[in-house]
Chain A
Amino acid sequence: MLVMLAAIEAAGLRKSFGTTRALDGLDLTVATGEVHGFLGPNGAGKTTTLRVLLGLLRADSGTARLLGGDPWRDVAELHRRLAYVQGDVALWPNLTGGEVIDLLGKLRGGFDPERRATLLERFDLDPTKKGRTYSKGNRQKVALIAALASDVELLILDEPTEGLDPLMAAVFRGCVEEERERGRTVLLASHILAEVEALCDRVTIIRAGRAVESGSLADLRHLTRTSIAAELAGPVSGLAELPGVHDLQVDGDRVRCQVEPDQLDQVLRRLSSVGVRSLVSQPPTLEELFLRHYEDDVADDGSTSSEGSASP
């Protein structure tokens, strides 16, 4: 990977609200020009992290750099170069969607009217309706259009497709692809795995206020198992004795199992020695990655964390 200046660099962020610890030593690095997924269940600390990065909250400890500046002190300069879409967009009841898009664009320091028009059409949004009459999805669209039409280097999106229907979610994905091509950096917080999987170059998984895993999707897949389903020419034996094979089910000529990455070669060799009629192998979905991390006991929390955050 090219060594580039990181767009976002946060280390050891801690933030407590009363007795609740929202962030507990969070590390996050987002390289310039990448689409970075920020994945975690509700209440993991995603929004708190974003709010620290936006200078809305002040971290109790830890450091954060955003586009080379201090998010708490250099607010105006930094915010001119980024756009943010809240998870739950609130609009002013008596302003129209079009007015809000223009206002936010102007306050950010300018936007492209042509792009605004294109986006309105693509997202199929009526800009003449008052804020109070929009549905949740339409409020989301207003904020997304305002952000995407702005001429900024960094987009920070908090669960942007919540409330969008599948068609609009696809439009959104198209837009993020374009942003990537234009070389913009995108930080996409989400708990929708398919979305992150489809869009992101790299992913940071957060749990209970700390990053438990961070790396490219390929990197993360090395940490998990491939599932294999095969139909063989005859019965196979000895699979169970191989290290790194899990959840083995043998039903006559059919075999299903989960294999650790470094044992894949061994297993395939054993199967092909019997003769393979059909083979389906699936890379782990983020779903599985996710489940693994959240099923984990707290006990091995620390070790996973140190492994994960070392990867960039």
Chain B
Amino acid sequence: MTALVGTRALVRLALRRDRILLPAWIVVFVGMAASSASASFDLYPTVRSRVLAAGSFNGTQSLVALYGRIYDPTSLGGIAMIKMGGIGAVFVAVLAILIVVRHTRAEEEAGRLELVGATVVGRYAPLTAALLVALGMSLALAALTAVGLTAAGLPADGSFAFGFAWAGVGIAFAAIASVTAQLTRSARAATGIASAVLGFVYVLRAIGDTAGRTGPGWLTWLSPIGWGQQFRPYAGNRWWVLLITVGFSIVVAAGAYALLGRRDLGAGLVPDRPGPATAAPTLRSPLALAWRLQRGALLGWAAAFTLLGLVFGNIASSVGDFVSTPEARDFITKLGGEEGLVDAYIRLCLSVIGVAASAYGVQAAMRLRSEETGMRAESILATATGRVGWASSHIFMAILGTTLLIVVAGAGAGLAHGAQIGDMGAGFEVLGGALVQVPAACVLTGIVVAAFGLAPRLVAAGWVALVGFVLLGELGPLFELDQWAMDVSPFTHVPEIPGAGLIVTPLVALTAVAALLIAVGLIGFRRRDVG
């Protein structure tokens, strides 16, 4: 077991580094789960109301595609936790991926693993430590979530099943990330590949859940997200499903160990090829550099967004068929729709796209900070490039990327929807509905830039703001928050297209806010120290 020597010390090191990150995430998750649960008591007080709501939910293909199926229409837990079981599980998976990559490939890329590796640390110790931390995080999350849900008033056995369904997703993606961390030399690419797997299995589950009797329903069983839902918390609590997750995770993690045993420290499985000896004539400006650094990720995101748009658009026209009862209508209204259900569904999808695209903007703008702390900005700023010129190049990429993603997803959704109903005019309206998301999404980039200029240590505020806005949008109506509180989120102000007409004022206002935040950030950056 010499290959594992030092694991314990590395686990302690990882916990020391993540002493704020981990508890903070867990608190957010548990809080989200418990607040969703407690809010549902008022919404669905009687069995009758639940059965009606669950019936219309399960009858609405788009909702099933987005969140999954409700398996016991009489149980409050089933209907209360349906969103958390779908979207919440994605967040758990993201956390697991981040933890594993952060303590394996990211450390290796930074050369710190070499520092550690030269001491008495076995070959497999860093990977083992990262997996143990992810495992511990998942179990702690499961236990605390179960306690939180039980405290909120849901049955204890179902609450534990729900907690462990989340933990299962976390463990499975920790294993997946442990493999992707072996594949490339770059932590960014390792995170990217694992996230792509996450997106893929989410779509597998969506297709499987919405398949008819003759359709490929088995696809759900190929997806770790699907396993989480087939656990069926509050609807039978099928603990045996956890065995699939555990078996899968063990096999995948064993694969990671096998890969690790075959490669050199610092190397990926894909060897580095030599590149050009001279720069292309176009690589002559900060913007060209920013494009060069971000283009790979952007093209990957754009491909995913196109696919997402096509899937959303394809389902859209079938939404109306399933909703006939007034109760169902009422339920859709509670989820944020109004009269035209198809329109409401499309708007829901487009707002998801807007939020996801703003996440791209946040991470692209945060490049400013990572270039600065990585000392690479210094090389550029010591040339004739001014600070504003350098910063603008990455800001431009963030805005351009956000816009591009919204355009390709909107075009994909519009094209698919238009083709389905044979009316390309409707397709263009979908594209329009996507485009109005751009100013709101750019506000997030603005928040990152403002933080970068004024308080560079707090650039992660961009993520905090994004999560806050999403929670406001998702949970605000449940808690019947005042309008002023809802108005804090830029996404509240996006005109409702398709459906209502185009209102220009909020778009201009949001654009102005984004521009102002960026200007403030640039002025702050000009005045502060670099590094």
Contact = CB atoms under 8 A, between A and B. Distances in A.
- Is this pair of chains taken from one and the same complex? yes
Interface of A: 51, 54, 56-58, 75-77, 79-80, 82-84, 86, 88-96, 98-104, 106-109, 126-130, 132-133, 143
Interface stretch (B120-128, B203-211, B278-286): B278-286
B421 interface: no
B482 interface: no
Interface of B: 109, 185-186, 272, 274-280, 283-286, 289, 292-293, 296, 374-376, 378-387, 527, 529-531
A56 B390 CA distance: 13
B531 A56 contact: yes
B185 A93 contact: yes
A103 B283 contact: yes
Nearest to B275: A96
A129 B273 CA distance: 8
B185 A129 contact: no
Smallest CB-CB A-B distances: 3 pairs: A102-B279, A128-B274, A107-B383
Given A76-B385, A91-B376, A104-B379, A98 B277 contact: yes
Given A99-B275, A99-B283, A92 B376 contact: yes
A178 to B, nearest CB: 22
Nearest to B111: A136
B531 A76 contact: no
A56 B530 CA distance: 5
Given A57-B531, A94-B293, A103-B284, 19 more contacts: A51-B531, A56-B529, A58-B527, A75-B387, A83-B382, A86-B382, A89-B379, A98-B278, A99-B278, A99-B280, A104-B380, A106-B284, A107-B380, A107-B383, A108-B383, A128-B276, A129-B272, A129-B274, A133-B272
A49 B115 CA distance: 30
Given A56-B378, A57-B529, A108 B277 contact: no
A86 B379 contact: yes
B276 A80 contact: no
A103 B289 contact: yes
A99 B272 contact: no
Given A103-B284, A132-B272, A86 B384 contact: no
A107 B380 CA distance: 8
A90 B375 contact: yes
Highest count of chain B CB atoms <10 Å: which of A100, A109, A126, A143: A100
Given A86-B375, A132-B185, A132-B272, A109 B384 contact: yes
Contacts of B387: 75
Contacts of A82: 382
A95 B292 contact: yes
A56 B383 CA distance: 11
Nearest to A78: B384
Contacts of A83: 382
A106 B284 CA distance: 6
Contacts of A86: 375, 378-379, 382
Nearest to B280: A99
